[in-house]
A = this chain, B = another copy of it.
Amino acid sequence: MAVYTEISDDELDALLDQYDLGQALSCKGIAEGVENSNYLLHTEAGYFILTLYEKRVNAKDLPFFLGLMEHLAAGGFMSPTPITAKDGSNLKEVAGRPAAIIEFLDGRSVRRATPNHCALLGQTLALLHTIGSDFKLTRSNTLSLASWRPLYESCLNSNGSSLEDDLLPDIAAEIDFLEKHWPNDLPSGVIHADLFPDNIFFLKDRVSGVIDYYFACNDFFAYDLAICLNAWCFETDGSFNITKARKLLNGYREVRAFSQQELEFLPLLCRGAAIRFLLTRLYDWLNQVEGALVKPKDPLEYFKKLQFHQAVTTVAAYGLD
């Protein structure tokens, strides 16, 4: 839940003057997204999401994110479309922050994903990779391999707690391993890189929306799958649900075939994806802001996921033949 910036009437009116959406009828802060302030905006033209980009999003990346959403939606993908202002731009400023008005998509995210949700997720992820492949802009993944050692070192330098004392040596060893074995020639393109259950809406047994492209970047397609395996296929008790994994991977390959190399590297990519979320969660855990509205997520969850993948030797462990 996060609404960091309040918008005055005058600021909202000044924003809407730049669009062909009529006047604002209501504007309510919504508990969606952690990095930005989001409002459900009702204007004479309909319902929209108004997003104010807070400091965790780099403003120079916004043309990539908004352009990607536009590209995906134009290609038939279930991404919301950023609304174009009268001057043709889809990026404005409100209350001193970059801001965009984005199509409102119906649908609800699921708290408890079923195997069927995982099959739909797999198809959807492959569709994103396919439709995104001819998007012209690029953005490197700032949270991939090269970032893990610096992130680890800033965790080392944070104020101590017993939590990271136990984890840090194992994390260091894992980063050593990943740096040695990380692939450099798998099929690549635009990936979502944060397709957690919060970011996908379902409506009557179909996917109605994929949101929150603010980690999207160019990287290995299979790394996006690894992120999803971690985010969707473990139960709350830490156990791995191989049925969900099989559904996810089979759903994906109905739309886009895997290369042999992608399958071979998948366990390693899952380890990398676990390290990436383990490190950012650990960093947030060690750098909690007093009185912050967002409670940091438990880093240990991803340490356990890492341990699972460390024991995996082939994709058979993920339900594939």
Contact = CB atoms under 8 A, between A and B. Distances in A.
Interface in A60-89: none
Contact of A111 (B1, B8, B107): B8
Given A12-B108, A26-B106, A26-B201, 6 more contacts: A3-B31, A9-B110, A9-B111, A26-B105, A42-B106, A293-B293
A180 interface: no
A38 to B, nearest CB: 9
Q: How large is the interface on A (under 10, 10 to 19, 20 to 34, 35 or more residues)?
A: 20 to 34
Contact of A32 (B29, B108, B110, B112): B29
30 contacts: A1-B3, A1-B29, A1-B31, A1-B293, A3-B31, A6-B111, A8-B111, A8-B112, A9-B108, A12-B108, A23-B204, A24-B108, A25-B106, A25-B107, A25-B203, A26-B105, A26-B106, A26-B201, A28-B30, A28-B31, A28-B32, A28-B40, A29-B30, A30-B31, A31-B31, A40-B40, A42-B47, A42-B106, A47-B47, A293-B293
A238 to B, nearest CB: 21
Interface in A1-38: 1, 3, 6, 8-9, 12, 23-32
A295 interface: yes
A291 interface: yes
Question: Closest 4 CB pairs between A and B?
Answer: A29-B31, A25-B106, A28-B30, A3-B31
A108 B27 contact: yes
Oligomer copy total: 2
Which among A24, A25, A29 has the greatest number of chain B C-beta atoms within 10 A? A25
Interface in A179-218: 201, 203-204
A40 to B, nearest CB: 6
A186 to B, nearest CB: 35
Contacts of A26: 105-108, 201
Interface string A270-312: 0000000000000000000001010100000000000000000
